[in-house]
Amino acid sequence: METLIQWGGGVWGGIGLAVLQIAAFLLVLLLGIAFLLWMDRKVLAAVMMRKGPNVVGPFGLLQSFADFLKFVLKEIVIPAGANKTVFLLAPILSTTLALVTWAVIPVAPGWVISDLNVGILYIFAISSLGVYGIIMGGWASNSKYPFLGGLRSAAQMVSYEVSIGFVIVTVLLLVGSMNLTDIVNAQAGGFWNWHAFLLTPEKLPLFPVMFAMFVIFFVSALAETNRPPFDLPEAESELVAGYQVEYSSTPFLLLFLGEQVAITLMCALATILFFGGWHAPFPVPIAADLPAWLTSLGSFAIFVVKVVFFFFIFALVRALVPRYRYDQLMRLGWKIFLPTSLVAVIVVSAYVVFLQPGMEA
Amino acid sequence: MPLIAFYILGAIVALSAVLVVAARNPVHSVLWLICAFFTSAGLLVLIGAEFLAMLLVVVYVGAVAVLFLFVVMMLDVDFVELKQGFQNYVVSGAAIALILFAEIGVIAASIGPGSNATMDPSPGADTNAEAIGAVLYTDYLLLFQLAGLILLIAMIGAIVLTLRGRPRAKRQNIAEQTGRKRKDAVELRDVRPGEGV
């Protein structure tokens, strides 16, 4: 790395290194998502007692790649009367924004592209832009169903962002930092330090609050990513396929990919905020003796296992829970989650100011 | 390097700000506005105010502009007609632009040309967020709370203005719906062939 920076003469070497890191990260992420998609379909199939994809490759493992080829080779159809620029910009925007967010996600100790001090705020900011891809796509299609889907989605995402924001604030208050690496390191030691299960004696009073926050975060993540049971923007029984109706071929692939990347991001975020990131559920005594690269790799494996676990739950929810009605969705967001998370912010900040050792003002 | 980045970002901000006004399609105007907001956040990052930059994106791009776009897409306004009244606003618009430029000029003059004053995005604190928090919640606590109160009043006002009691509106009682049991709704009958229920 040092030689690369010197070879490129400072700035350019640094940029080259960053590009290499990003390329490697993207490669792993997109390959992982290809298999996660396969898993999603297999879980859905298993719940429905079907076999699911099983033709391409062993156990249908390569199905996603076959789908990818098919998407890319099809003709791009742009509806007459569509606003061409915005129509094509929307899928590009949604994929780019979903991928850009991963820049601050630490996947193992030190394995992060940009260790921002305001990392969690960055994620919140960029993911709040994800809605543009959907609104723009819905509007530019110049068609009724996509437009309705886009509007539904905008209202839904704006509503659930608010409670996600407050849930994140409770975690920030406990950790005292907006850096994601700090948030993960604050949960080291064992699962009783994870924010979802605060079972240490001094933090026990916060356990019910933080567990409720974890549940709210998970459900809001489902709503934020338009996953069932909150997939009203693309409710096929009412809106055909919502904002994606007019999309075909590569633009559709990009919209779909952006959605999947955002879902995986939410899984990673749940892992980092509430499930201890790359830390093992129990202290590993031999970890100190292992070489650094092995602990890094082990941590990465633990992180991936947790993300896959959350993705599995996402897939199960999709298979098991019936779709919400729109008024129920809005009621849940504004009348239940928002007040609960607001109260939790007050409770957690009171705890941090008055009870947390070493924080007395 | 930061200078090059500044000029690139500044050019994008200026260009998209012009296009906000010049674009024929109102939805395009809003999209250019979003572009301007986002690039200004980049400018803030450039001077080291990363907290402000993120807030700008969260509040303006993530919330305000979404609602803006929402309204512009939903409203069926005849924009050709709207544009015809353009001349009426030229004077007041020019006055506002003049005042804003004068303000920038006054600030620039107070720093003076060629001065090597540097900007400190986080005076007296480690990070940007801490510096802002320390000022907001100590020196300006009262004003800050007042601003929040005014916003709350505006919110309540908007709700009061749009709330109309519609006596015949259909409403759902969610507790009633979820509390419904099988035995209240379904009945099993043994129906004989040809007799009906």
Calpha distance B28→B19 (Å, rounded): 9
Q: What residue in B sits closest to A335 (Cα-Cα)?
A: B174
Residue numbers of A between 174 and 233 with CB closer than 8 Å to B = 178
SS3 category, A303 = helix
Phi, psi angles (nearest 5°) of residue A108: -160, 165
pLDDT per residue over A140-175, tens digit each? 887 888 888 888 887 888 888 888 989 999 998 888
A307, A267 Cβ separation under 8 angstroms? yes
Measured between beta carbons, the chain B residues lying within 8 angstroms of A135 are 66, 69-70, 73
Is the CB of A87 inside 8 Å of chain B's CB atoms? no
- The predicted model scores a pTM of 0.83
Calpha distance B81→B79 (Å, rounded): 5
Nearest to A160 by CA among A225, A206, A205, A113: A225
Calpha distance A32→A305 (Å, rounded): 12
Nearest to B40 by CA among B63, B21, B15, B22: B15
Calpha distance A26→A46 (Å, rounded): 30
Distance from the Cα of B34 to chain A's closest Cα (Å) equals 10
Is the CB of B23 inside 8 Å of chain A's CB atoms? no
Distance from the Cα of A191 to chain B's closest Cα (Å) equals 30
pLDDT at B83: 65
Interface ipTM above 0.85: no
The yes-or-no verdict on residue A252 having pLDDT over 50 is yes
Q: Which of these ranges, A12-21, A309-318, B87-96, has the smallest mean pLDDT?
A: A12-21
SS3 category, B194 = coil
Q: How many CB atoms lie within 10 A of CB B145?
A: 12
Between chains, do A129 and B73 touch, taking CB under 8 Å as contact?
Answer: no
Distance from the Cα of B140 to chain A's closest Cα (Å) equals 19
Calpha distance A95→A252 (Å, rounded): 11
Each domain of chain A, given as residue ranges in start order, spans 76-355
Average confidence (pLDDT) over B82-89:
70
pLDDT at B99: 94
Between chains, do A121 and B66 touch, taking CB under 8 Å as contact?
Answer: no
Q: Where are the alpha helices (DSSP H) in B23-127?
A: 26-46, 50-56, 65-74, 79-84, 86-111
Better pLDDT: B117 or B75: B75
A250, A272 Cβ separation under 8 angstroms? no
Between chains, do A124 and B67 touch, taking CB under 8 Å as contact?
Answer: no
Calpha distance A228→A222 (Å, rounded): 7
Q: What residue in A sits closest to B1 (Cα-Cα)?
A: A11
pLDDT per residue over A221-247, tens digit each? 988 888 878 887 777 677 777 778 888
Q: What residue in A sits closest to B172 (Cα-Cα)?
A: A327
Q: Which residues of A306-321 are buried (b: 16+ CB within 10 A; e: fewer)?
A: bbbebbeebbebbeee
- For the record, the structure tokens of A233 come out as 């923007």
Between chains, do A135 and B66 touch, taking CB under 8 Å as contact?
Answer: yes
The yes-or-no verdict on residue A361 having pLDDT over 50 is no
Nearest to B56 by CA among A125, A123, A76: A125
Phi, psi angles (nearest 5°) of residue A142: 55, 50
Measured between beta carbons, the chain B residues lying within 8 angstroms of A331 are 174
